[in-house]
Copies of this chain bind each other. A is one copy, B any other.
Amino acid sequence: MIAEIICVGTELLLGDIVNSNAQFLSRELAELGVTVLHQHVVGDNPARLRALVQEAKDRSDLLVFSGGLGPTADDLTKETVAEVFGDTLHFDAEEWAKIEAFFARTGRRPTANNRKQAMVPTRGRKLPNAHGTAPGAWFEDAQGRAAALLPGVPHEMKAMWTEDVRPILEARQNCTIHSMTLRVLGGESDIASRVAPLFESANPTAAIYCKTGESEIRVTARAANRAAAEAACRARIEEFRAILGDNAYDVDVPGLAYTVVRTLRERGLQAATAESCTGGLVAEQLTAVPGASEVFGTGFVTYAAAAKTRLLGVDPALIERCNVVSAPVAAAMARGALAASGADLSVALTGLAGPGGALPGKPVGTVYLAGGDARTGCVHVARLNLCGYGDRTIIRARAALQALDLLRRMALGLAPVNAVTLAPGQQAPEL
């Protein structure tokens, strides 16, 4: 099946918004095994729209539209597509009642213009809109060429796609699709080379998306039913995990902080943070997870050297002797955070996020990460070399990600990455 995507909206042509709808629809169609050869953006001009729809219909089996379903007189997408597909529109009392009820809930009344939105295909079918006023539309000609008209508002569009359009296409493609996303610490090139054969499979497919310091591997299976598609995804994910090991940290979570909060909760552990160069980013990411209060109570942002001494009890002589950006100071911060918070685990960060401030032997991007474990009295300390990965924002983000990973590893009893482990009372070496 060949499809094209047509997005209607002046705000796209003016560059006021980025076309995230085209990306969403393209990815969904690819996963269904539908080939997308063209994407277009046009305005609300009926002549230009008609020319484009006719041309697209001549070469493709399916046209997917987003936008142009609004109530104003120049929103003519539905009328134009109906004409090209040889269909007409009629007034639908049920949709009109829904529109009136929608307005009533917000204390308003629909205008005469809104009646346009209650016009639905005569030979085709309407697509209910669970999240807004305008129903979508499905048109189909005698040759089986079809058009799906969806709203432009992303959350309305996505809901209508998932609930109404994708099931039609799954039925036509004679399959059900299911996707799962495995999250893996490390860069795309590292990962891709180790699991290359798994990316060549046609079903399940796998695609890798590079994020800061980690990658997402999205596995999509097509099968006769949902259970079989899910099972195929899960089996493929296990193959990835077998190769990628501990770095593959979770499936279908928004990010590492979610995995850390869940792991801490499962193990009944409390964590604390002591941050210098990341300035609160680790605490912010942990507390962005609903329910974080069960596992996190205290964070210290000790940006100044004096704050490291005052809040965490770091010896000023140690700072003087080793420099504030050093392994011994990171270790002392981690120990101080445990003592000052009463938590079971701590992570501490001190480093050079730039742009200025490089030291001899310590370029911008040098970060010391320490993890304290009150259960054993041990402290793990590592030097992260994040130079060359990007600017201040990237350095901070990568350092925070490593800190979350250290918390995860301590909670699970996994070995920390490239870290020196200090016994209780032992001072850290220079790293």
Contacts of A286 in B (CB 8 A): 279
Q: A48-B37, A290-B355, A396-B288 are in contact. Are A301 and B283 (CB under 8 A)?
A: yes
A25-33, A375-383, A412-420: which lies at the interface: A25-33
The answer to whether B42 touches A38, judged by C-beta atoms less than 8 angstroms apart, is yes
Q: Which of B12, B13, B290 contacts A354 (CB 8 A)?
A: B290
Considering only residues 20-50 of chain A, those with a C-beta below 8 Å from chain B are: 20, 22-30, 36-43, 45, 48
Contact with B along A250-289 (1 / 0, CB 8 A): 0000000000000000000000010101111111101110
The answer to whether A16 touches B287, judged by C-beta atoms less than 8 angstroms apart, is no
Contacts of A300 in B (CB 8 A): 299-301
Contacts of A301 in B (CB 8 A): 273, 280, 283, 287, 298-301
Q: A307-B341, A393-B288 are in contact. Are A14 and B30 (CB under 8 A)?
A: yes
Q: Which of B38, B293, B396 contacts A40 (CB 8 A)?
A: B38
Considering only residues 293-323 of chain A, those with a C-beta below 8 Å from chain B are: 293, 296-304, 306-307, 310-311
Contacts of A17 in B (CB 8 A): 23
Residues of chain A having any CB pair with chain B under 8 Å: 12-20, 22-30, 36-43, 45, 48, 52, 207, 209, 273, 275, 277-284, 286-288, 290, 292-293, 296-304, 306-307, 310-311, 340-341, 354-356, 392-393, 396
Q: How far is the CA of A292 from the CA of B355 in the complex (A)?
A: 12
**CB-based nearest B residue for A392:** B290
Contacts of A282 in B (CB 8 A): 280
Contacts of A356 in B (CB 8 A): 290
Q: Which of B12, B23, B277, B299 contacts A39 (CB 8 A)?
A: B12
* Closest 4 pairs between A and B when the two form their complex, measured CB to CB: A279-B287, A15-B27, A299-B301, A297-B304
The answer to whether A27 touches B16, judged by C-beta atoms less than 8 angstroms apart, is yes
Given contacts A15-B24, A307-B341, A311-B311, 5 further A-B contacts (CB under 8 A): A12-B26, A15-B22, A19-B39, A279-B287, A280-B283
**CB-based nearest B residue for A354:** B290
Q: How far is the CA of A275 from the CA of B299 in the complex (A)?
A: 9
Q: How far is the CA of A396 from the CA of B14 in the complex (A)?
A: 31
Q: How far is the CA of A121 from the CA of B243 in the complex (A)?
A: 48
Shortest Cβ distance from residue A289 to the other chain B in the assembled complex, whole angstroms: 9
**CB-based nearest B residue for A24:** B15
Contacts of A29 in B (CB 8 A): 15
Q: A27-B16, A283-B280, A288-B279 are in contact. Are A43 and B48 (CB under 8 A)?
A: no
For A16, A17, A280, A307, the residue with the greatest tally of chain B CB atoms inside 10 Å of its CB is: A280
Between-chain CB contacts (< 8 Å), 5 pairs: A15-B24, A19-B23, A280-B282, A283-B303, A298-B303
Shortest Cβ distance from residue A207 to the other chain B in the assembled complex, whole angstroms: 7
Contacts of A306 in B (CB 8 A): 297
Q: How far is the CA of A37 from the CA of B392 in the complex (A)?
A: 39
For A25, A290, A356, the residue with the greatest tally of chain B CB atoms inside 10 Å of its CB is: A290
Q: How far is the CA of A307 from the CA of B48 in the complex (A)?
A: 63
Q: A290-B354, A301-B273 are in contact. Are A30 and B43 (CB under 8 A)?
A: no
Q: Which of B16, B27, B40, B278 contacts A14 (CB 8 A)?
A: B27
Q: How far is the CA of A82 from the CA of B25 in the complex (A)?
A: 32
